[in-house]
Structure 1
Amino acid sequence: MGYNDGRSYYVYLLLKYLKRNGHEVFLCSNNPEAKERISDTGAEFFLMKELGDKKKLLKGKSVLTDFVEKKRIEVIHSHHRFSEFIANSVRKKTGVKTVFTALSIVDKRYFIEYRSDRLIAVSNSVKKMLINKFGVDGNKIHLIPNFTDTEELTDKIPLTEDVKKYLSEISQRRKVGFKIILTVGRFHKDKDQITLLKASESFKDNKFYFVFIGSGELYSLYSEFIKEKSINAILIPSQKDLRPFYEAADICVLCSLTEPLSGFLLQSGLFSKPFIGSDAEGILEVVRNNDNGLIFKRGDSAELKNKIFMLSEDSNLSGLLSAKLHEDVMKSFTEKTVMPQIEE
């Protein structure tokens, strides 16, 4: 579980609000670090290393069966395809019901996936993928969106020394008139942060400071690009508390090539930040160009540059777009509207 990984954020919110709403909740994970990361949800943690090891499938099935029977589990809710396969493999013996939330747009087929009793698709683009690419019966799919947490608007988590250092660097730029451009997400080709880096390269003579928060396989590539091109940018490791970074941002940007429904997009709206997104299908389900955000063609760094400059120069437009996105998120994409649908 990574703090800025959309799947982990979704699971964290499920645990938090299912527990608060009176359910007995457990997290079974092959990652020991997840225990600390969910400690404030009240959910119990159980380390099952076999869940992530395909070579130990039979052992994983046995361990999960014992757990289900011992704890009298009624529902297993999984979020990875291999975990779903193990969950479904113990269904017949234990009688447990299975639910799977599809949070990603995927291409590769394993012919064992999406066979839970109920499937949740977080966007229409995900639902279309399940039906058209994987042949899932549409009647099994429940369209329930990804969501964000309104308590983040008021919760104050103590800042670590590293976070204070990053915020100090951002603050120093703001004091001399820099606009802060924020993007959050895995450093992965699907997120296409390189398009934002290329756009930022053309801003070298302007006062823009680009903040990239995340981790992943492309970290070194992005770091070298920033150094080589002398870009006003900083790469910050994944953070548990993103609130101070949203508060410091002037504009939020998401460049995804494929996108189901971004938590970063929803949090940008939660914190009333002007948002610029690519024309990936999942983004277009929420963002309407010139109504609650701006849209640019995927991979087009020149158009993205123009959109950033447009928002930075037009405070009235920025205010109108951010207010409308905030309104839309608060209406349809928070725990208050989404959790009741999941609990059904």
Structure 2
Amino acid sequence: MRSMDSDVVGGAKPTIAHLLPWASIGGVEVATLRIIEATREQFRHVAFCMTNAVELKKACERAGAEVVSYDPPEPSLRHGLRYLRQSQAVAREMKRLGVNLAHCSETKATYHNRLAALLAGVPMITHVRSRYSQMSLRDRLGFLGVSGYVFVSQDSKRQFVLKVPDSKARVLYDAVDVTEPRDDAANKLLREQLGVPAGVTLVGMIARVNPQKDYPTLASAAAQVLAKRADVRFLVVGDNAVVEMNRVHYEAVNRRLIELGIADRFIFTGFRSDVAAIVSALDIFVLCTHREGLPLSILEAMALGKPVIATNVDGIPEVITNGVTGFLHAHQNSEELATAILTCVEHPEMAKRVGEAAREQCRTSYNSRVFTANVAKIYHEFLRS
């Protein structure tokens, strides 16, 4: 394998392999795409995507990465020979591509690909994007010899189950560029295309329909809101069909909405690539979740000046100051969530001021220039390891 120093001397960019563990596109995948886009002038990027990840492959290519189809090795003691062969196949691809550093987009990717990186002689870093305060012994074995950990918040670092020395730990806050929202005519047209009735307040949540997200609490809060205000609709944008777990959970969520008698007030779009346009068309942005490192979707909404209401867990309060740059509600507390939504609906000028404060915070603290420099610094530090 070529060293970073020889790459620099020869004029070639160091090669970063992004190991992606899911076929759908959600927050993890969007964050990886942003890293690729931000640093493609400095590094050559190769995205290892699951064979059936059709849309993700296209997105990675658009971002500037080469794409490799792969089947993530499945760690197993019972089927150890199969696991070894699968890992050898991934290792051969890494060697063929001249990979200098493997970047796991999420801890799941580390669990599957650690042996492959070892066989290829490639240093590996893993992104920790959520709360991992518990881990089985088998899972811990998958992290032996990992060169570095990139945490999305101070809280995700603090709660991580493994003891990571400071020399291996980095905190990387995501970033968004503040842009102008789309004009009223474009927002009106998009709302019509989504089937949103005219004159209603549109509350949106951008997240895959997955058990990690707290859709039951959102459903309960929505029922309370709709009991007082019939002029509200709820929009959910995120995969609910590609990944089996998401499909099964979507069916359970839909059953609950039917039980509450509010299924006709919800619009589920599935995955959409035009997230910025959709957020621009929202009146209120919500993220109801069980755990979250530091979600990019919140920053995207803040950058567009939307009032954000989110669960007060993990890294979220590192970004949102309650009542100043957004609103926080206690975990699984549908009453607090409903109250925050109704407050924004009934006091639009106040909601607008909060959204503007959030937008200014993004402009000063979470801009892409700082993000790009920080990613590059992390890569160079671990390329040398």
TM-score band by shorter chain is: 0.7 to 0.9
Match in the other structure for 2:97: 71
Match in the other structure for 1:220: 251
Match in the other structure for 1:57: 83
- 8 Å CA contact 1:2–1:238 kept in 2: the answer is no
Q: Mapping of 1:106-125 within 5 angstroms?
A: 106=132, 107-109=134-136, 110-114=139-143, 115-125=145-155
Q: Mapping of 1:144-293 within 5 angstroms?
A: 144-148=172-176, 167-170=193-196, 173=197, 175=198, 177-202=199-224, 203-206=226-229, 207-214=231-238, 215=240, 216=246, 217-231=248-262, 232-293=265-326
Q: Distance in 1 between matches of 2:254 and 2:374?
A: 42
Return the offset for 1:211. 0.9
TM-score when normalising by structure 2:
0.78
Q: Distance in 1 between matches of 2:171 and 2:348?
A: 36
For each residue in 1:42-84, what CA deviation from the matched residue of structure 2 results, as whole angstroms up to 9, or x when unmatched?
2111112244575542123222332232222211111243532
In the alignment, does 2:174 pair up with 1:141? no
- 8 Å CA contact 1:65–1:94 kept in 2: the answer is yes
Return the offset for 1:90. 4.8
* C-alpha distance 212-50 of structure 1, shift in aligned 2 (>3 A): closer
For each residue in 1:76-103, what CA deviation from the matched residue of structure 2 results, as whole angstroms up to 9, or x when unmatched?
1112435325654355554422221111
Q: Distance in 1 between matches of 2:179 and 2:347?
A: 30
Q: Which stretch of structure 1 is more off in the superposition, 293-302 or 43-52?
A: 43-52
Q: Distance in 2 between matches of 1:224 and 1:198?
A: 13
SS of match in other structure, 2:140:
coil
In the alignment, does 2:329 pair up with 1:299? no
Q: Distance in 2 between matches of 1:168 and 1:188?
A: 22
* C-alpha distance 105-167 of structure 1, shift in aligned 2 (>3 A): farther
The one-letter amino acid paired with 1:108 is M
TM-score when normalising by structure 1:
0.86
Q: Distance in 1 between matches of 2:177 and 2:92?
A: 34
- 8 Å CA contact 2:179–2:304 kept in 1: the answer is no
Return the offset for 1:164. 5.9
- Over the aligned positions, Cα root-mean-square deviation in angstroms equals 2.7
How many residues align structurally?
331
Q: Distance in 2 between matches of 1:17 and 1:324?
A: 26
Gaps of 5+ in 1: none
Q: Distance in 2 between matches of 1:333 and 1:190?
A: 25
Q: Which stretch of structure 1 is more off in the superposition, 88-97 or 5-14?
A: 88-97
Q: Which stretch of structure 1 is more off in the superposition, 30-39 or 296-305?
A: 30-39
